[in-house]
Amino acid sequence: ALVPVVNFTQNTWTIVLLMGLFMNIAGLTTLALIFFSFSVLFQLVTLPVEIDASRRAVAYIEQSGMSSKQVNGAKKVLTAAALTYVAAALTSIIQLLYLMARYNRNSNR
């Protein structure tokens, strides 16, 4: 039930933000920040799941009887995949903090 809401907010927050900025409607800008916050929250909630999936995949590959060279290569790829989720979450958090700071600065004028 949460996925459709997150998909909607991820796909529309930038449009709502731009409309709020160009039309100078603070309510739309606030709504855009709320939408983006849902997206960031969803990333944070799914991050442990993605990391655990990579960890379980490594354990499965180690037990599969592959050569050590193949296992090492697979570990590197799976670690890199998990780290992309971490990097994406950190980037989203930083972007949200930046947008909130800009919004607070503009609303104080």
Q: How confident is the model at residue 109 (pLDDT cuts 50, 70, 90)?
A: low
Q: Is the CB of residue 73 less than 8 Å from the CB of residue 57?
A: no
Q: Residue 37: pLDDT above 90?
A: yes
- State the residue range of the domain holding 61: 2-107
Domains: count for the chain: 1
**Alpha helices (H) in 1-109, listed in sequence order:** 2-22, 26-63, 68-107
What is the Cα–Cα distance from 57 to 82, expressed in whole angstroms? 11
Q: Is the CB of residue 19 less than 8 Å from the CB of residue 25?
A: yes
Identity of the amino acid at 16: V
| 3 state SS of 1 | coil
Share of residues in the chain with pLDDT > 90 (%) = 61
Q: Residue 25: pLDDT above 90?
A: no
Question: pTM of the predicted model, to two decimals?
Answer: 0.79
39-58 tens-digit pLDDT: 999 999 999 999 999 999 99
